[in-house]
Structure 1
Amino acid sequence: MTKPHILQMGPYPEWDQVPLDAAFTVHRYFEAADKPALFAAVGKDIRGIATRGELGASAEIIAALPNLEVISVYGVGYDAVDLNACWARGIRVSNTPDVLTKDVADLGVAMMLALSRGMIGAETWVRDGSWAAKGLYPLKSRVWGKKAGVLGLGRIGFEVAKRLQGFDLDISYSDVSAKDFAPEPWQFVADPVALATEVDFLFVTLAASAATRHIVGKEVIEALGSEGMLINISRASNIDEDALLTALETKALGSAALDVFEGEPKLNPRFLGLDNVLLQPHHASGTVETRKAMGQLLRDNLTAHFAGRDLLTPVLS
């Protein structure tokens, strides 16, 4: 039987690449020096796309593949896939939710702890001899007993809030509506600005969309204030990055822990001159266990589609 032809938008680890190559005829978009020539040669053969959340599939790429049937996203975010183009042509789309949820939540909480307690600087203090030469490391801020806000109480936001309870933090959240699965101690605050005003730590865990673009703007950032911390483990587009940088530079915002950036991996160099940010390379799901599970689910969705079955984790079905 002829293997289905798919377009691979970006690289995967070897443990995913080998079984992907075994199951499908794979055309590597990211390795093609002449992409129009690639489409001219095999565009009509391609029935599926294997992509990553940050790479997605643009309307132009979708239009170049007249027999495209399915797009499988390695990641929970699918905002880089042109869903309108998919909807218009009946192209199915899947992602890999749940398998990465708890790892992302873990990293968000870890970033809060590391930045609050100055753990990165404290390790340098030990390694460069400052402890011996200068004495104790400067005092930092406690976490327990403070107030945390979660902007977007979806899968990841819920897991973040669960973890924060273990640190005796008061939990508030904002979403389009109150969630019946949120336990009674958690307070629903409809307005993100009001939420930011009330809390010490604001976690951004929203799915990205046109409606959420820059939802964390100047007003929210200023409401969080000079003692507040912003933690983003969602998408860069949810935050007005210029407003964030200005607030960090002027100390209008206390600090920020960030795993995502506009234009990553080439982030704005203004971030590199700040001492009140913790910068991470978009690796909230970056554990061996989770990445293997994500790759398996990506392949399982493609396999299900080409076998005529329902997608396991559909975005558009």
Structure 2
Amino acid sequence: MGRMLSFSQPAVLALAVLATPQAVGAEGFPNDLAAREDAVALEPLAPWNLHFGENKCRLVRYFGTQDEPHMAMLEQAAPRAGFGLTLAGPEIRSFHRAPSIEVGMERDEPLQRRERFGSGDVEQVGKALIFPSYYIGPARAEGAPMAAGIDVKEAGTIDRIVLERRGRVLSFETGNMGQPIEALNICTSDLLNVWGLDPEQHKSYFPARWLNERAVVGRIQASYPREALNRGEQAVFRLRVIIEEDGSVSDCHLENSTEVDRLDSPACRSMMGAKFEPARTADGEAMRSFYATTVSYSIGS
């Protein structure tokens, strides 16, 4: 059973068209755009709610009005620097079918153009934009150890989530995200305990490196279920494997982030043949760890 902390779980996303997002530079900072007179600002309806699941953590907040609620959801299936971001509600209709959207969070970073993203519907909320992998903060320096989880210091520079398209600005007025992200990190650290891994080791470590990624990904792509292809079914899955000290895969879990009735992903069957250079402690010792990624099935992607 998953543990719940002041949380009413949102409806599962229905049929989504998903692909890995690509970012290119754009002008404009979140706070400056949100201050425009014609910007639409969505104020919170309730506090952030955190769901402690067995294999994922969700941070959810509702915005707008009782008659026209909107939702922002951050989701992780493992303690990573990135997270899945879903924004939903009536105002999303203006962005739903756009070929590209400017998105930004950090007050000191300009919005970035996302040219490929997912779309769908959230029951009782409305149209949704789905960004399977959203990252904040600087990239990890080459050769330096990392800490599992989202950069809390960088999260402290976020006061809102801003979308812009053709001059139209929509702002989810989140408030400072430092404390909510810290709570999300606690939840994903708990996942490490559930999986039999050591959270202390993951506070400073060198992550596992996938050695035969191209071959395994090719098998996954080639085995897209033909029946699902014929029906045009498209979906996103969050995949996580446990990697032993010798680099072998001992367990695989696939979490379906969208509701697709008949699409049975072969990803885990293929991942059991994946080969990794094992994760290492800050002192260079091999350690049991995990590898997490997102599998997006999208026709024509």
TM-score range, shorter chain: under 0.3
Q: Of Structure 1 and Structure 2, which has the larger fraction of its residues in strand?
A: 2
TM-score normalised by the chain length of structure 1: 0.25
Q: Which has the higher contact order (CA 8 A, sep 6+)?
A: 2
Q: Of Structure 1 and Structure 2, which has the larger fraction of its residues in helix?
A: 1
TM-score normalised by the chain length of structure 2: 0.26
